Structure 1
């Protein structure tokens, strides 16, 4: 027979070994853990079965939150754990579109490598309609085949669309990216003609500065 003290020691050792590898329960909610990039808390949520494909009260999924915040490691962990790449948030954006909307191209690259569907031209048109003017996102799409001078279903190229919506910053970014500044839309209107019709003095000055013709 073993002494009582030794028996207690063996019992405590056994209990300690049985708990090895089991993380503590999360102490931070999932959205917060994702937003601040707390990988330990995220892994606790994954271990204890938190649903990563359930939107929060704002209609945003954890993968969208990670894409918005530019959390590459967190986003990769979510995808590998089964986060849906095609889920749409309250703004009807996929995680990939969310990443590009916020200029998070490293997250976007990871999502594409993990299988996120990407139509570069359609994504370009969508982002232009939403007012995105970030150089990184435009470069990301043009490197993958998007044409900055292509006409969309309304017969407008990205520059026409930016002028129609009165977006000076976006128009400036597109011009500096090398778009055809005199490209006519489906109705034959040049960018300068559209700006003159809209009475957009700032954009008119910008176009003339770069040699636009009416």
Structure 2
């Protein structure tokens, strides 16, 4: 019994030691990313540091690098096997955040490394929805080409087309995004939860250029 207790204590101590080492290595990696130290990140990767350890808010080192658009560091982490779909407590992942932020270099890396096109953010939206809302034209092109669902409806009851109208001023960038969605085959008549169509919303907001685009494409 004494031997068993001794072994248990030894295993517990070993476990705590392993956990402590892992936490220390996570902290070193987070610090290197925060300071933009690519060489240090590469050294830690070579030493076998865990790539998907999480900070207090659930962010991984890759998500931290994405947040500050550190392309070289993000590439080093992704090439080493960091998970592009790992979410933090706010339901952001490197892929989703890159898409929403218009960080196209990192977005391309995530798309090339098994980004989950069906994953959604805290609003239940795909990466394409905030990209359309925020006027990230090149990002919209990348996500459409990747095959993100055009008519996905988020928890607010809005599609990417609706957000390009409802949350914009209808300016040139959003006009071009609406044109892209039309060309890609988005459902132009899919309404919000109140039954109001994209065309009607554009009319209500005086977005005449978008109204014309939708009407010319057969929206009702």
| TM-score class normalised by the smaller sequence | 0.5 to 0.7
1:126–1:138 Cα change, 3 Å: same
Partner of 1:136 in structure 2? Answer: 138
Which whole-Å CA distance do the structure 2 matches of 1:182 and 1:101 have between them?
Answer: 22
Distance in 1 between residues matched to 2:191 and 2:214, nearest whole Å: 21
Aligned runs of 1:1-214 on 2, under 5 Å? 30-35=29-34, 37-46=36-45, 51-119=50-118, 125-130=125-130, 131-146=133-148, 148=150, 150=151, 152=153, 157-165=159-167, 168=170, 171-177=174-180, 179=182, 183-186=188-191, 189-196=196-203, 199-201=204-206, 203=207, 205-208=208-211, 210=213, 212=215
TM-score (normalised: structure 2):
0.60
Structure 2 residue ranges without an equivalent (≥5): 1-24
**Which moves more between the two structures, 93-102 or 176-185?**
176-185
Q: Distance in 2 between matches of 1:118 and 1:151?
A: 11
Q: Structure 1: which 5+ residue stretches go unaligned?
A: 1-25
Larger radius of gyration: 1
- Per-residue deviation, 1:94: 1.7
Tell me the CA shift for residue 110 of structure 1: 1.9
Aligned residue in 1 for 2:9 = none
1:7 is aligned to none
Give the C-alpha shift of residue 32 in structure 1: 4.9
Distance 1:81 1:159, change over 3 A: closer
